[in-house]
Structure 1
Amino acid sequence: MPVTWSDDVDAIIGGDLTCGLACLTPAGGAVVTSVSPFGIRDRELGTVGFTTSLGFGRKLEHIRDDPRVALAFHAREHGVGDRPDPRFVLVQGEARFDPHPDRATLDEIGTVSEPFMGAPKTGRFWGRWLHAYYEDRVLVTVTVTRVLSWPSSNAEGEPEVFGAPRPEAAAAPQSPPKKGTGPRVDAARIGERAARLPHLLLAYRDADRYPVVAPARVIDADADGVRLRVPAWVPPGGRRAGLLAHSYRAQLVGLESRQNSGWLEVTGTEAHYAPHTEFGFRAPANKTILLLANGFLARRGLAKARKEGRAAALG
């Protein structure tokens, strides 16, 4: 039977402008990035969706290689509907997508995005410039395995569970990477940047091999790593983990995102994070400039994906 969820949870899934997407990596870790769900869901079928572009990032490749994903609905800013509910909602399931959506799907994406993003730019110039951004959109549909809902944004305590029960045993610690567990990039700078952004998410692989996303908070950072405050249910020990710090304004204008992969050591509600890779960007605070930048990045990203054969490999 399809997994369904409560009206309160549905209002959050249907109203948040952005959510955190966690995908699994071949090495047994997880990466987390922000995506736009635009309220796409079907409670009768037990599905939740989001959109992305063939020209942005490698999330579709992660999904192709392992469809198990998690979506963390963690921020109420700039969404639609009544927004005071502070709860943290985590959706876990298996994702699928068509890398070559038909015209009807693209039109549907445009329709559902308007309440969140405003009407799309039209005209000869914008049609050509934003072709890769608008026309190469992909709809990702997640068949839900479980939904977890905590009453507060810090996800403390026991969640309400819809669908499959949570794993009974905590995820076992992982073997350290061959290159060591220490930082490979500037941990102090990464911690300082993450501390000034309002949203911080941590992702790892759970005992049932689904990714989990937890809210986190920076305590301090130095050359040895970033100290974090995490919920008590994050499993103890060491493991590969992803970190996302981000902020955004209405219609995603002024979006800033700082993404890392690295090694996590957890003791109680404190964790030590050693970043191994970093990726980040800051979008312009002006919507016209933002669209110009989106068009350029999408065109460049799509051209690179095609040149490297990654776009063709998706199907």
Structure 2
Amino acid sequence: MWPDAADSAIKGDLTVAVSYVTPAGGAVITSVSPTGLGDREQGRVGFTTSLGFPKKLERILRDPHVAFAYHTREHGFADSTAYVLAQGKASIDLHPSPERLSAFMKASEAFLGETRRGPVWDWLLREYHQQRVFVDADLERVSVWEDLGAQGGKTVAGAPWPQAPAAQAAPKNGTGPRVDVAGLMRQIAGLPHRLVAYKGADGFPVILPVRVTGHDTAGLHLELPSGLLPPGGRRAGFLAHSFQPQCVGLGMRTLTGWLKVTDEGAVYAPHTSKGLAAPPYRTLLTVSNGLMAKYGLWRAQRDGTAERLRDLAARATSDLGKTR
């Protein structure tokens, strides 16, 4: 049972950050629009996605430890000023019932706007609406800070906050930047919401808000909440993003890299960088979503992704049954 401040954010934030772990012990962080998916009594939160993004689903099925950061009240409905970090183990519903899909579409209109209807729109958006995949996370810990900068007092519901994880071994290819840092700074200049994620000692990702205070050949210089980032070096994800009302227009830059924390500060050396932008025009955005969903489903069926995900989901369900 998370506190009221967390409930307001979970039910009302338009966009949240989601992180999952990688086989190498790092963390990837991206943004999603959960449209209020959260059940306080069951201690469960979630979001929906598409088969067009199979790597995310595969990673979660192989290691279900995930985290959600409710980090901005922009364009949403929450009245809380708290930063909320929810951590739990995820399961994936690859074949949601028509009733669940219908309820989701109805609830999403308050966040994303009215659904386009008509013969052409129904055909265009068929896969986008009917081939959704639900990611449900049964929470083990919800941490709440007094403000969006994760400063001030912290309350924890559920499992106690773990000890700091040990530093990780450096990757074989070195820890320095592998992308142009100056160019990266230009790319994220208009993306004000910035966060990092790393794998905690208990296996769950930890997502923290950060400020980029500068950059040089070593990477991005970060300012983080006091006492929340463990010393040493480790693999970490970085997210910079922005979004407009009803997500009609958004930008996102996701990075993986090496984070080093010393007494002098924190430096993030980016190793990979991917960007995404959606046009600020509803009709163009809707058409793009429909076409991408059609292509994603076709590709997933053609290259075996859909079958592979089904096998992984069945194995994950079997493993869960054994642990019980």
TM-score bracket, normalised by the shorter chain, equals over 0.9
Structure 2 counterpart of 1:159 = 154
Tell me the equivalent position of 1:217. Answer: 211
TM-score normalised to structure 2 length? 0.91
Aligned to 2:186: 192
In structure 1, the partner of 2:62 is: 65
1:211 Cα deviation (Å)? 0.5
Aligned equivalent of 2:266, options 268, 271, 280: 271
Distance in 2 (CA, whole Å) between partners of 1:5 and 1:161 is: 9
Aligned to 2:223: 229
Distance 1:147 1:170 in 2: 17
Residues 87 and 150 in structure 1, CA contact (< 8 A), matched pair in contact too: yes
- Of residues 176, 181, 184, the one that matches 2:170 is 176
Q: CA deviation at 1:257?
A: 0.4
TM-score by length of 1: 0.94
Task: Report if the CA contact (8 A) 1:188-1:222 is conserved.
Answer: yes
How far residue 93 of structure 1 moved from its aligned partner, in angstroms, is 0.2
What residue is the counterpart of 2:18 in the other structure? Answer: 21
Q: Which residue of 2 aligns with 1:296?
A: 291
In structure 2, C-alpha distance between the alignment counterparts of 1:303 and 1:188, rounded to whole Å: 38
Q: Quote the offset at 1:89 in angstroms.
A: 0.3
| Cα separation, 1, equivalents of 2:239 and 2:257 | 11
Would the aligned equivalents of 1:74 and 1:153 in 2 still touch at CA under 8 Å?
yes
Query: Which amino acid is the alignment partner of residue 103 of structure 1?
Result: P
In structure 1, the residue matched to 2:320 is none
Query: In the aligned structure 2, how far is the partner of 1:132 from the partner of 1:56?
Result: 14
Q: Kindly provide the CA deviation profile for residues 66-103 of structure 1, in whole angstroms up to 9, marking residues without a partner as x.
A: 011000000111112x53x3211000000111112121
Determine the C-alpha separation between the residues in 2 that align with 1:305 and 1:90.
32
Residue 303 of structure 1 aligns with an amino acid whose one-letter code is W
Which of 225, 236, 258 does residue 253 from structure 2 map onto? Answer: 258
Gaps of 5+ in 1: none
Compute the displacement of 1:298 (Å). 2.1
Counterpart code for 1:32: I
CA distance in 1, matches of 2:211, 2:300: 34
- CA-CA distance at 1:123 after TM superposition: 1.2
Q: CA deviation at 1:219?
A: 1.0
Match of 2:37 among 36, 40, 53: 40
Give the alignment partner of residue 103 of structure 1, picking from 98, 107, 115.
Answer: 98
Say whether the 8 Å CA contact 1:194–1:218 is kept in structure 2: no
Q: CA deviation at 1:157?
A: 4.1
Q: Is the 8 A contact 2:190 2:242 kept in 1?
A: no
Aligned runs of 1:41-56 on 2, under 5 Å?
41-56=38-53
Deviates more, 1:27-36 or 1:215-224: 215-224
Q: How does 1:230-245 map to 2 (within 5 A)?
A: 230-232=224-226, 233-245=228-240
Is this contact kept in 2: 1:228–1:270, CA < 8 A? Answer: yes
CA distance in 2, matches of 1:177, 1:146: 30
For the residues of structure 1 that align with 2:6 and 2:263, how far apart are their CA atoms? 28
Number of residues of Structure 1 aligned to a counterpart in Structure 2: 309
For 1:175 and 1:23, how far apart are their aligned partners in 2?
20
* Maintained 8 Å contact 2:54/2:305: no
Give the secondary-structure state (helix, strand or coil) at the position aligned to 1:114: helix
Contact 1:54–1:137 (CA under 8 A) maintained in structure 2:
yes
1:11 aligned to which of 8, 12, 15: 8
Q: Report % sequence identity.
A: 49
Q: Which structure 2 residue ranges, 5 or more long, are not aligned?
A: 311-324
Residues 205, 211 of structure 1: 8 Å contact kept: yes
Aligned-residue CA RMSD (Å): 1.5
User: 1:139 is matched with which residue?
Assistant: 134
Q: What is residue 83 of structure 2 aligned with on the other side?
A: 88
Measured after TM superposition, the shift of residue 121 of structure 1 is 0.9
- 1:190 match: secondary structure: helix
- CA positional deviation for 1:268: 4.5
Structure 1 pair 269–166 and aligned structure 2 pair: CA distance change class (3 A): farther
- Secondary structure, aligned partner of 1:58: helix
The more displaced of 266-275 and 92-101 is 266-275
Q: Is the 8 A contact 1:86 1:151 kept in 2?
A: yes
Matched, 1:127 2:96: no
Residues 146 and 153, structure 2, Cα contact 8 Å, conserved in 1: no
In 1, the alpha carbon distance for the partners of 2:218 and 2:305 equals 35
